[in-house]
Amino acid sequence: MSQCLDCHELDLDAILEQVRPLLGKGAVADYIPALAKVSGNKLGMAICDIHGNIYSAGDANEAFSIQSISKVLNLTLAFNIYGEALWEKVGREPSGQAFNSLIQLELEKGIPRNPFINAGAIKVCDLLTTRLSAPKQRLKELLWDLCGTKSISSNRIVAKSEREFSDRNAAMAHLMKSFNNFENDVQQVLKVYFHACAVEMSCIELAKAFSFLANQGKSAITQSQVVSSRQSKQLNALLATCGLYDQAGDFAYRVGLPGKSGVGGGIVAIVPGECSVCVWSPELNHFGNSLAGSEALSIFTSELGRSIF
């Protein structure tokens, strides 16, 4: 397995300067007031290599709402608990549709296409709720395991705001329940879901947290073996095909790495065997992915000469 000899040679500041002209050309998520207030001109980037070395630039130390990036963390918990049986409840195919669509969910009788569209992520929270007495606490413990810090927390105001605008997600949960693919109280599960979405982390913390996917399942920070080497590859496969909403193909084409985005403007990507990388820029394109963030990752892989392809 080759090492990430080149990361220290990358000029992350220069990458950020190249994409800074994109600021002002996207739109900050505004479906809840708490997110709409974020300044659009934030820009940060951090890399964590498999030896735990950190490289960063811009607003890499500022915590932001990780939103859908949390879906990978909850999935990691559920995959550990359920193993392969998980896939009887959630599919692992790209949806070809918007992340919050109910159409496919109805046609496919309540089985969400994958764990990264909303319906699938809510189903994962349902499964966690069935087996864990305190799923929100368990997520915190996972982050501790991954980053070695207890300081990460969920923003209660954001979580509460999400729940006030949660009808689309509640519709999905009830639809799954009508197909006998939902086990717990809808509102209880949505609390777990929104708590995770409202977790706030910086680029550096996210790069650290996701180092296990670059390092055969073992955190490069704490050396904790979070999932098996095989499971780590499988999670990366899911990220590569389903991680960027309905723009997964474009991201594979332009960036060439497994990744996961959130409407808070963060994107995490993995160079298997080398490093994890996180960018943050709150303005989104119309797919809901960070505009400057995805461009920064495209430059990153071009300059590094790395992609999984």
The binding site comprises: 68, 118, 162, 169, 193, 245, 263
CB atoms closer than 10 angstroms to residue 115: 28
Helices 186-197/156-164 angle, 10° precision = 130
Active site residue 71: yes
Nearer to a copy of itself, 160 or 177 (CB): 177
Per-residue x/- track, 151-180, a copy of itself (CB under 8 A) = ----------------xx-xxxxxx-xx--
Q: Judged by CB under 8 A, does residue 133 bind a copy of itself? A: no
Q: Give the rounded distance of the alpha carbon of 283 from its chain centre.
A: 16
Contact 79, 222 (CB under 8 A): no
Q: How far is the CB of 164 from a copy of itself (least distance, A)?
A: 11
Q: Judged by CB under 8 A, does residue 219 bind a copy of itself? A: no
Compute the Cα dihedral for 131, 137, 139, 141 and give only its sign: negative
Q: How far is the CB of 292 from a copy of itself (least distance, A)?
A: 21
C-alpha span between 169 and 152 (Å, rounded): 25
Q: Give the rounded distance of the alpha carbon of 10 from its chain centre.
A: 24
Per-residue x/- track, 64-103, a copy of itself (CB under 8 A) = ---------------------------xxxxxxx---xxx
Choose the catalytic residue: 226, 263, 277, 279: 263
DSSP strand E in 53-181: where? 54-58, 64-65, 153-154
Q: Which of 27, 241, 299, 303 binds a copy of itself (CB under 8 A)?
A: 241
Positions marked catalytic: 68, 71, 193, 245, 263
